[in-house]
Amino acid sequence: MTGNEYCRLYAESPDKAYEALFSEYCDYVYAVVYNKLIRTAQREDIDECVSDIFAEFFFSYKRNGSDSGELKGYIGTIAKRRAINAYRSLTLHSERFSGETDEEFASAASDMDVENDSDKRETREILINKINELGEPDSTIILQKYYYDRSSGEIAEMMSMKASAVRMRAARALEKLKKSLAAAGIML
């Protein structure tokens, strides 16, 4: 969605513009927030953060009608900033996460500094490439199942498939991915 498209929708109906924006970028914004917060936050914190991001966009975006660029960059910036702020706010108070140890916090904090962690960066790059090589729908299913931690039933609903088929594909795809990664020297 471009800025101009958003403005046109807004002029027609602000509600419509908001819902179209949400529909277009919900998955992306959720991915950004989940990626940053999943190790420290509760699901409700992630949901709150996502809903805040769309509200902030609505508040801050200047609808001047001359923005032909995609809004993804703009909302992505808000999402990253808010996710990091939420992370900092949440990790300030370890009592909220009594299930985690100080070491885990330290580990999570150091993970934020990706520039100093080239090994992990390289591993992630290989991993995501191998996942993509699985092809669709397996690459999506494997992320939904083993990264987003969704059940086969939920994935089935999202992918319009049968849960049993999801289960079968996920298991097979995971095995395939493990072999593929093992060949690259990475163990899952």
Does position 108 interact with another protein (CB under 8 A)? The reply is yes
53 CB-contact burial (10 Å; exposed 0-12 / middle 13-18 / buried 19+): buried
Between residues 2 and 91, which has the closer beta carbon with respect to another protein?
91
Amino acid at 72: K
By CB under 8 A, what part of segment 4-23 binds another protein? 10-15, 17-19, 22-23
Identify whether the C-beta of residue 185 lies closer than 8 Å to the C-beta of residue 178: no
By CB under 8 A, what part of segment 152-171 binds another protein? 152-154, 156-159, 162-165, 167-168
Residues 6 or more apart whose CB falls under 8 angstroms from that of 155 comprise 141, 144, 145, 161, 163, 166, 170
By CB under 8 A, what part of segment 45-104 binds another protein? 45, 47-52, 54-56, 58-60, 62-64, 76, 80-81, 85-86, 88-89, 92-93, 95-96, 99
Please select the residue that binds another protein; options are 106, 114, 182, 184, rule is CB under 8 A. Answer: 114
